[in-house]
Chains A and B, each alone.
Chain A
Amino acid sequence: MKKGFQIHKHSWLKYLTLLTNSHNMFVPVNNNNIIEYEEYSPELNNLSYFAAKPVTPLKAFLLPIKENVVIEREIHNKNIILGVPACDLKALELLDEIYLDPDHTDTVYNFNRENTILIGSDCYEIQEHCHCVSYNINPWPEVNFDLSLSAINDDFIIFSNSEKGEKLVNEMILNFQLTEAGLDILKKLQEKRNSVKKMLEKKNTRLPDYQHTGALIKKSENDKWEEYSKNCVSCGACAVICPTCTCFLLVDRPDFEKVRQTDACQYLGFERIAAGEDPLKKKYMRFRNRYMCKYVWRPEKYKSIACTGCGRCIDTCIGNINKNEIFIQMASL
C-alpha cells in the first residue's frame, strides 16, 4: 500500500470548511437512507462518504443532463466532488476514452474534467445491488481519483493519486496536524477493505463475470429478450442513471448554438434514419441493445469496461427488472 496520511476527523471537517472558500464542494448526504450529493456546508450533519452509493452517478458533474457545448466557458471555482465510490471512478475510464478521444476532443467535457477535483472514498456499507467485485473492481478507490479517503475509527487516512491531490495534501500539512499513516493502521485498513470485498463476493457468487456475461448475451435468442424485457416501459432510467451510458442528442439553438442533452437507446426512434427505417423499432431490440453495447460491443472497441457493477439500473427500474437475475438465469440455461 502506498504512502498515506492520517488526519483526525475533526481536523478533516475543518479543512473541508476551508476548502469551500475557494471551491464548490459536493458531498454525499444521507436523508432517510437515500444518499445524494449536496453542496457542502459545516451545518450538514448527515454526511455519508463511506456508504455505497450516491443515487446520482459521477458523470452528472462532467456531462450534465443539458449543457450548451458551443458557448465559451467562464472560469469559476473548481468543483470538488467528495465521496466518489470506486464504481464511478472506474466508469470515468470509458468516458475519457470517448470524450477525450485525441481525434475529436470534447473541449467542454475536458473543461469540466480539468476543473473538477475527485475525492474518492472506500465503501464500508454496501447496497443490495452492488456488484463491482464481480467485474474485478475493488470497493475502494484505485484509479482516477485525486485524493482518497478511508477511515479507521475517528481517524481518516488520505492517499494522493495526482498533482491536484498532492496540492491538497500540502495545503493540509500547512494548516493541520497530519502524520504519515503507520503500518499498523494501514494493515487495519486493508483488513477492513478486504472484509467489504468478501461481503460483496459472497453476495454475488452466482453472477457470471464480465466476459462470460458478454458471451451469454451474445448468444441469447430474440424470444428470450422479449421475455426479459416484458416489464420494460422504455423509460430510459437505466441509461440515464448509469455511470457509463453517455449517449446524447445535439439540440439546435439560435445563433448556431448546440445543447448536448442526455439521450438513451431505450427511447423509440433513437437510431431511426431519415427515410424511416429503425433498427431498434421494437422494445426488446432496444432492451437487448443496451446490454450488447455494454458487454459485447464496447469491450470490442474500447479498453475500458462499460459496466462497473454499481447496480443503479436495478435500483431505479420501475418495472423491477434485475439485469443480474437475467444474467444468472442465462448462465443456468
Chain B
Amino acid sequence: MQGNHNIYKPIKATVDRVIKESPMIKSFVLIPEKEFFFKTGEFIELTINGYGEAPFTPSSSPLETKKIEVTVMKAGYVTEKIHALKRGDVVGIRGPYGRGYPLDKFYGKEVVILGGGCGFAPIRSLMYNLIAEKEKFKKVTLCYGAKTPDECIYKPFVDELKKIEKFEVLRSVDHADETWEEKEGVVTVLLDDINVNIAESVAVVCGPPVMMKFGTLKLLELGYPEEKIYLSMEKNMSCGLGKCGHCMMGKYYVCKDGPVFTYDEIKDQPDIWI
C-alpha cells in the first residue's frame, strides 16, 4: 500500500447475489474487478457511487479471493441505499483495513464465540477460517443471539456448522415464538450452558454495543482473563486509514489499531461500549 497507490480510491465490484437474511439484514455477494485478499476480522469500506461509504467486515471466507460477501443491517442512509442494490449493480470497495483476529493466538485453544444480531457477519468469516484449520483448535463453541427467531441470520450456515466435528452452536432469542426450540433470553444466558475449560480457552465477542458490554462482563465473571477476550469494536470508521479521526476511542483509531482488540487493551479508554 505504498508508493503512488491512492489510498482513497476504491476498486469496482459487481453485485452478484442478494440474500435476504432477516427483515432488516441482507447479504451481498460482490465480485471485485480484481482479486481481493483480506484476513478475517479486517474490514472494507463500501462505496455507493456518488452517495456515501460505510465500513463492513466481510462475512465470507478469507480463503475466497474472487468473491467477497458483506452482510448489512439497514440502519442509516448509506445502508438504506445498499439494501436497494440489485444483481449487476456496481459498487466501490476499499481496503482491507485494520487488525483482524489473531488466529495464531487461538491455536491449541477452545474458542468460545459470542455473537449478537448482525455481529454474526465477522464471526462467520472467522468460522470459515476455523473450519479450514479445525485440527488446530480443541473445540469451537458459538453462542449466538438475536431478538426474535425471524432475526436469526445465516440459518443454512448454522445447519452446516452443527454437522462439523468439534463445532457446537447454541442459540437464543430475546423473544421466542411457538416455532423456537432453542433457548429464550439474552445471549449471555448461553454462557451458563457451555462446557469449557476456561484456562485453555479464548473468547471472541461481536455484536451490538450493549451486548458486547454484558457479554464481556459475563466472560470476566466466568474467569476469563482480560487479555483472552477479543472484541470487534464498532465505531464510525470513515477513512479506514487512521487519519480522519471519526473512530477515535481514546488513543486508538479503531480503524487502524483495531477493530479487533483484547479487553485488556481498551478497558481504560473512554466510551468503549457506545
Contact = CB atoms under 8 A, between A and B. Distances in A.
Given A255-B49, A274-B54, A279 B270 contact: yes
A249 B238 contact: yes
Interface in A206-231: none
A12 interface: no
B236 A271 contact: yes
A303 interface: no
A248 B244 CA distance: 5
A98 B6 contact: no
Nearest to B75: A274
Contact of A105 (B2, B47, B208): B2
B122 interface: no
B225 interface: no
Nearest to A103: B1
A279 B274 contact: yes
Contacts, number: 117
A247 interface: yes
A279 B233 CA distance: 13
Contact of B235 (A260, A271, A276): A271
Given A249-B244, A274-B75, A275-B208, A260 B234 contact: no
Interface string B259-274: 0000000000011001
Secondary structure of the A contact surface, majority rule: loop
B155 interface: no
Interface stretch (B58-66, B136-144, B175-183, B247-255): B247-255
Contacts of A275: 75, 208-209
Nearest to A109: B243
A293 B253 CA distance: 12
B185 interface: no
Interface centre among B209, B256, B274, by most chain A C-beta atoms within 10 angstroms, is B274
B259 to A, nearest CB: 12
Q: How large is the interface on A (under 10, 10 to 19, 20 to 34, 35 or more residues)?
A: 35 or more
A248 B241 CA distance: 12
B251 A256 contact: no
Interface stretch (B7-15, B164-172, B194-202): B7-15
A106 B2 CA distance: 9
Interface string B2-25: 101111111010000000000000
A76 interface: no
26 contacts: A69-B6, A69-B8, A70-B8, A101-B242, A104-B7, A106-B7, A106-B241, A108-B6, A246-B243, A246-B245, A252-B50, A252-B51, A252-B52, A256-B50, A258-B53, A263-B246, A270-B236, A273-B236, A274-B78, A275-B209, A279-B249, A279-B274, A292-B270, A293-B245, A301-B251, A301-B252
Given A247-B246, A249-B238, 19 more contacts: A70-B9, A101-B241, A101-B243, A103-B242, A104-B1, A104-B243, A108-B6, A250-B53, A252-B50, A252-B51, A253-B50, A255-B49, A256-B10, A256-B92, A260-B8, A263-B245, A263-B246, A292-B250, A300-B251
